[in-house]
Amino acid sequence: MKVAILQMEGTNCEEESYLAFQKSGFEPELIHINLLKEGMLENYDMLFIPGGFSSGDYVRAGAVFAARLKAKIWKDLVNFVNSEKPVMGVCNGFQVLIELGLLPGVDGISDEPKAALMTNDSNRFECRWVHLKKERDTVFTSHLPGRIMLPVAHAEGKFVANDKIIEQLEAQKQVVLRYVAPDGTIPNYPWNPNGSINHIAAIVNSYGNVFGIMPHPERAFFWYQHPDWSRNAREHGDGYYVFKSLFTSIFEAKNR
């Protein structure tokens, strides 16, 4: 099961992502955006856009990365999504998916952004561990426990959209993960690190195959990456279960 991990100047989480996919049983491949050609995506079972600061986050976070993808392989991207293959973007990758119009995807693919990931309410870069509550099972979250911890590292992570989009996201159960306080209650800052509407941390499109998440599962793949690793040893970190969910889902789909 082959995963295309895209990279360009400024991405900085591709190595951790590569290792997480590899340790989960996938065959990951790093592909620089300059090497992308029409028809290439047909050879892959999944597309992954990692975190970082692509093109220095000039214009807006993820905007340049998205514009270059649209210019090079937009038709292939649309076909990939319509074929129901999974697409995942983490942090800056989530921002790219928003800029492409693949998310929030309440009514399918859009020609222009229908939401935004704005500057954090704190007006500063937030790098901390957060608590998340799973709202539903998807191909990306089926093996996740109900509550997990993942790290965030972003300056523009506040999910915003107009009231209609938010209502559709909630009604169609496209919100997959929300920020919560350590006791599971409604979070204030810093447990909602950016001020996202409805404490949204991760969403899927209406078809359930495009996933955007601000926290970093690849940075919590191994248990020793967790802040309390020495007190509560176990085999895997919470991020591992995102990749396990994907492997199980894609494997089952390919062997039906």
User: Which residues are known catalytic residues?
Assistant: 91, 216, 218
How far apart CA 85 and CA 253 sit, in angstroms, is 10
CB 89 within 8 A of CB 49: yes
Taking the C-alpha atoms of residue 225 and residue 234, their distance in angstroms, rounded to an integer, is 11
Q: 190: Cβ–Cβ under 8 A, 6 or more apart, which residues?
A: 122, 126, 128, 130
Give residue for tokens 């935004």. Answer: 116
In this structure, how many other beta carbons lie within 10 angstroms of the beta carbon of residue 134?
A: 18
- Retrieve residue 124's tokens: 């500063």
The values of phi and psi at residue 235, to 5°, are -75, -40
Q: How many helices (H) and strands (E) does the chain have?
A: 5, 11
List phi, psi (to 5°) of 157: -130, 5
140, 97 in Cβ contact below 8 A?
no
Q: Which residue has the tokens 């404490």?
A: 199
CB distance 144 to 176 below 8 Å: no
- CA atoms within a 13 Å half-sphere pointing along the CA-CB vector of 15: 2
